[in-house]
Structure 1
Amino acid sequence: MKKAILFFVLILSNQLLNAQTVMNLYANEIPNSKINKDYIEESNTGTDGKLRIGKVSEPKLIAYFADKPNGTAVIICPGGGYKILAISHEGYQIAQEFNKRGITAFVLKYRLPSDDIMLDKKIGTLQDAQQAIKVVRDNASKWQLNPAKIGIMGFSAGGHLASTLSTHFLKSLIENPNNINLRPDFSVLGYPVVTMDSFTHQGSKNNLLGNHPTEADIIAFSNELQVNSNTPPAFLFHANDDKTVPSENSVNYMLALKKSNVPVEAHFYKGGGHGFGLENKTTNEEWFVSMLTWLKSINMLD
């Protein structure tokens, strides 16, 4: 009996491994990088059972391919204050939910801003996000994806990265000889850091821009100020009792999109705090289900 159970566990483990493909984000040299042999990746599973990764210097794209792909794809950016990546509950778990609906998902294990491994830490994460959408769009046919239905998703600081890609896609910071479109077709932002101004998350701001950023950098990376009519449609969700990242981040991004006549839907909850991932236990609404309905409404999901 024990052998049978062990055999079943091994089969299940193999199925889970086969469901995902880990690939280097860059085929060749990583841009804007410098060698630091003392900078070693760290991973830790907390008492809450959630995996967190730090000191990422070799970015990866972790693909979750749906059994019956419907053509829609999402690149997921976990949060963590630009200090670590909360990669299990804001990455892998979300990707698995997308797969259940036929949506192909890619968890972006992006470099974290650091002067130790980057020539310019302000742009390293954005380079990784641009490269991710370039890779996915460039392989759309191979992976049975619709190149016009590729979105970006981010939680907390990952939401800042997602909204940065959504507002900074015209200037390519990576090698892009075929001029692949770097604009996401939609964005999903969960309790996101959006601004670098008064309502920011100070840790994310310091880690990205340093302790004494210029006014120009504060404006450039306050993504509510960078919205225009070509910014992708967005779905946002945020708890109003969030003490880490004030919900004003989502409010102001929503208002900026509305002013530019960009489709936007935002769900604000009375409770839930910060970092609740897939499930906000203070409400019966499932933001993920509402988000799928929204995707259908903007013709990003059949």
Structure 2
Amino acid sequence: MNKSANKVNKRYAHIETNNTIHDIVNHNAFQGFVQYILPWDNNMDYYNTPLDNVSSILPYHNHVEPDIVAAAINHMIDEVGNGKTIFYDFYTGKQKQEDPTKDFTGLFFFRGKPEAPFAVVCPGGAFEYVASFHEGFPYALELSKKGYNVFVLRYRVGSELKATEDLVAALSYIFENTDMLGVSRENYSLWGSSAGARLAASIGSYGAASFGGSDLSKPCIVVMAYTAHPDFSGDDPPTFVIVSGDDSIVDVPTLERRVEALKNAGIEVEYYKYDDIGHGFGLGIGTDAEGWIENAVQFWKKHFSKNKEI
């Protein structure tokens, strides 16, 4: 079900960094689904926070850039103004009625070229909040500029298993609606940061069917940003891994043991460890991690099953 009541070629005002979260909540472009954009469920305490201080509502993240957040939000505003649907429910009304915890779920869609491969981006937030502002929408915007179709997952907080089930349900929805969405099933990728990387890695290791979903193909690659998720199956897809050496949340030796285990199992891994930028650095603009998105895209293209330009 689409929750966007779009009007074709309607010009909506952009969000500036001196606007507040409350201004986003009240924005005409997002009516009906704005709650899925926000990081915290049912929490109005931060509504008066200006976007200039958005980092204060993302306590597990660093290098949160208000200009980058605003640019991604404004892209979404423009898409709605151009008559595009940007939000999709992947659970039915009946499923939400049977399990109200599924209310705060959905997919935001950043369009690339028609029939190009898609990526699903799973932001982090320690399963307490979903940091789409920082490592969801900005990632999606960068990838869509390169022609890829990108979905940002809004999953349930409070449970890694339920969040993983949400990713499975979202993937099933995409696979069942590729014609409507205009995306290719081939060569899809999963991108995750921190808690979100655990979701992506789990599907890469064990597949959707292991978490109650359909027997879908595994992703072409998995991108894991700053997580110490230790589990793997030995049948994982190629994996791209990034972390900062001084991450105070991630146990870097645990991460590196997983990297070595994957390599020893014959799985290709591309691993980058950056200097002194902490946990949750997002795009890493202005740090030695800047440009990691491009490296990850090249890794993805390298593993396309069909050498197809987009």
Is the TM-score greater than 0.5? Answer: yes
Task: For residue 181 of structure 2, give the secondary structure of its aligned residue in structure 1.
Answer: coil
| Pairing partner for 2:191 from 132, 147, 153 | 153
Cα separation, partners in 2 of 1:234 and 1:32, compared to 1, 3 Å: farther
Report the equivalent of 1:290.
Answer: 295
Per-residue deviation, 1:127: 0.8
Tell me whether 1:83 sits opposite 2:133 in the alignment: no
Which residue does the alignment assign to 2:45? none
The answer to whether the aligner puts 1:95 opposite 2:140 as a matched pair is yes
Q: Which of 15, 20, 34 matches 2:78?
A: 15
1:192 alignment partner in structure 2: 227
Amino acid at match of 2:136: G
Asked whether the equivalents of residues 284 and 290 of structure 2 are also in contact (C-alpha less than 8 Å), the reply is no
Q: Aligned-pair distance for 1:75?
A: 0.4
- Say whether 1:254 aligns with 2:259: yes
Partner SS, residue 85 of structure 1? coil
Matching of residues 99-114 of structure 1 within 5 Å: 99-113=144-158
Structure 1 residue 26, shift from structure 2 partner: 1.0
Q: How does 1:37-56 map to 2 (within 5 A)?
A: none
1:281 partner amino acid? G
1:58, 1:111 within 8 Å by CA — same for their partners in 2? yes
Q: How does 1:218-237 map to 2 (within 5 A)?
A: 223=231, 226-228=232-234, 230-237=235-242
Deviation, 1:234, is 0.9
Within 5 Å, which residues of 2 pair with 1:125-144? 125-144=163-182
Q: 1:250 to 1:81 in 2, by over 3 A?
A: same
Q: CA deviation at 1:190?
A: 0.9
Query: 8 Å contact 2:136–2:152 — kept in the other structure?
Result: yes
1-side partners of 2:190 and 2:140: how far apart? 12
Identity, % of aligned pairs?
Answer: 24
Match of 2:270 in 1: 265
Aligned-partner residue type, residue 152 of structure 1: L
Alignment counterpart, residue 27 of structure 1, candidates 63, 67, 92 = 92
Provide, for residues 58-91 of structure 1, a one-character-per-residue CA deviation record: whole Å limited to 9, x for no partner: 311111112x246121101110011111111111
Q: Which amino acid aligns with 1:24?
A: D
TM-score normalised by the chain length of structure 1:
0.69
Distance 2:125 2:103 in 1: 16
Cross-structure match for 1:117: none
Q: Would you say 1:242 and 2:277 are equivalent positions?
A: no
Q: Secondary structure at the match of 2:211?
A: coil
Which deviates the most, 281-290 or 238-247? 281-290
After TM superposition, the runs of 4+ consecutive aligned structure 1 residues lying more than 4 A away are 10-14, 31-36
Asked whether the equivalents of residues 209 and 216 of structure 2 are also in contact (C-alpha less than 8 Å), the reply is no
CA–CA separation in structure 2 for the residues paired with 1:280 and 1:243: 20
- The answer to whether the 8 Å contact 1:19/1:64 transfers is no
Deviation at 1:255, TM superposition (A): 1.4
CA distance in 2, matches of 1:31, 1:261: 41
RMSD: 2.9
Kept in 2: contact 1:233–1:262 (CA 8 A): yes
Is contact 1:134–1:181 with CA below 8 Å preserved after alignment? yes
Q: Give me the whole-angstrom Cα distance separating, in 1, the residues matched to 2:97 and 2:209.
A: 15
TM-score (norm 2): 0.68
**Contact 2:191/2:223 (<8 A) preserved:** yes
Higher helix proportion: 2
Q: 1:241 to 1:33 in 2, by over 3 A?
A: farther
Q: Output the CA distance in 2 between the equivalents of 1:8 and 1:146.
A: 31
Amino acid at match of 2:218: R
**Equivalent residues of 1:65, 1:99 under 8 A apart:** yes
Q: Residues 205-258 of structure 1, C-alpha deviation per residue, up to 9 Å, x if partnerless?
A: xxxxxxxxxxxxxxxxxx2xx321x21111111111111112234312211221
Quote the Cα distance in structure 2 between the aligned partners of 1:33 and 1:122: 20
Structure 2 CA distance for partners of 1:71 and 1:163, relative to 1, 3 Å: same
Q: How many residues align?
A: 237
